[in-house]
Structure 1
């Protein structure tokens, strides 16, 4: 009876290479005799699955099967028997290559090991002591800005249900990947479970910005604070602090709060917080202030744009 490798893997001829790989990996776990010792038909099914995968994973043999040149077992059809005469040629592009290629999926390596053991009549997990680590699972987690700076703990909801606690280290940054050992896929035999790899995405903050280990903040101040100087309260990622505004401060001036930036676990130093001053006029100008500035303007001719205009002149 003619065997259709597509039917064996539950696929159609329109299946992609990725579809073929996924179908095979799924069937490995449901049909391999080592994993199902009480299933009398598992060995025969798995041999058929391995044969179908060997044929379809290779674009050349797949194309030859689709063209009717070989059958589902990979044997030459009578009218194309001459094709095999060239199978062992040194420059034959159709010659099968053994072993694993670069960037091969670890799950494929595991499947190949099982397949080779089946062909060789290998034993079971207990008899041969076979084991393999489980696969790693990857997740993405959005973290509030302050939790990334200060550290904290969040819960990650897993696709298969349930959740796991994720400890966010102090000073975590956008794009950082955390590893939770043993929280990935189950191992095979006595193999250890895989890990959960969690990539962080730090949510922007409405007040603070981060550059490396420094925190940036724009601080509004009043006209009188800018002219006369003042002590004001400024927010930082580690709590509010007192900040001295020097007399005659202008918008754009940057004050540095040392050690008020981002820290790291076990680190001896921390980044700084840079505070950029921004003078803000009152929402309403009363008559007293307007009259004072009107008279002040008459006797003061300070022009802060003189140097700017001079440098901009052609």
Structure 2
């Protein structure tokens, strides 16, 4: 139940604000003059105002959503931690649907002045697309692909906020590059230890985005009313796994001395979770470019050099 306010909108509520994306985004929002609060199940000291929620009981501080001019939903358990047992898969799904449904419920039932609701999704919705360039118009992967199924249900839950008259944006996030966490950290570590190698065939595409570009994109989506609906949040130049590995090794000035890590070995070690590194997703950034977003790091090598160039 949205209400109109005339004062300048500067308050942002972030669910999942202590994760990799949320930490950097919070810093950049503060630098841009916003007030930032987090919604979290944690307690304890923090730089930010905090509202409590409990996804199991589907409860949230009644003051959380009414506080905000904008709500950003980044909440969700990591897909890359621990093998995908049935229990783990339920946790991955429930952590996304539970938080999203709770925020949308609050948008429906509370008096608020929220101008936009941003709720992230993932390019995993496309499944293993091979060499095909996928766009926002590409249908999700068929049922049975776990990450695609999670993303499809996650997006449907978020887009329900549109029924409340709230501008809703769903960025499908690619592989986020940062030396502070995410996929880049273990890849760089293995290369520094002279143990890096392309994974599987090495021909699978990786659609990536520099963390700062992602945060700048989310801020633009927040601020500019033309952004609405689903967008691919990826840099405009996806690369194969082999090219990614070779480029990272070059930036780190390390040779690649090992052969490719065979697909069967990855499946043996990781089980179904090997889909994360073996699925090929060549994802188009054309829609965000048409909306006027400019990437600071459209190419992989300068993006990696921004992290590791000064170390060498």
Same-fold call, TM cutoff 0.5: no
Higher relative contact order (CA 8 A, sep 6+): 2
TM-score, length of structure 1 as denominator length = 0.23
Bigger radius of gyration among the two: 1
TM-score, length of structure 2 as denominator length = 0.23
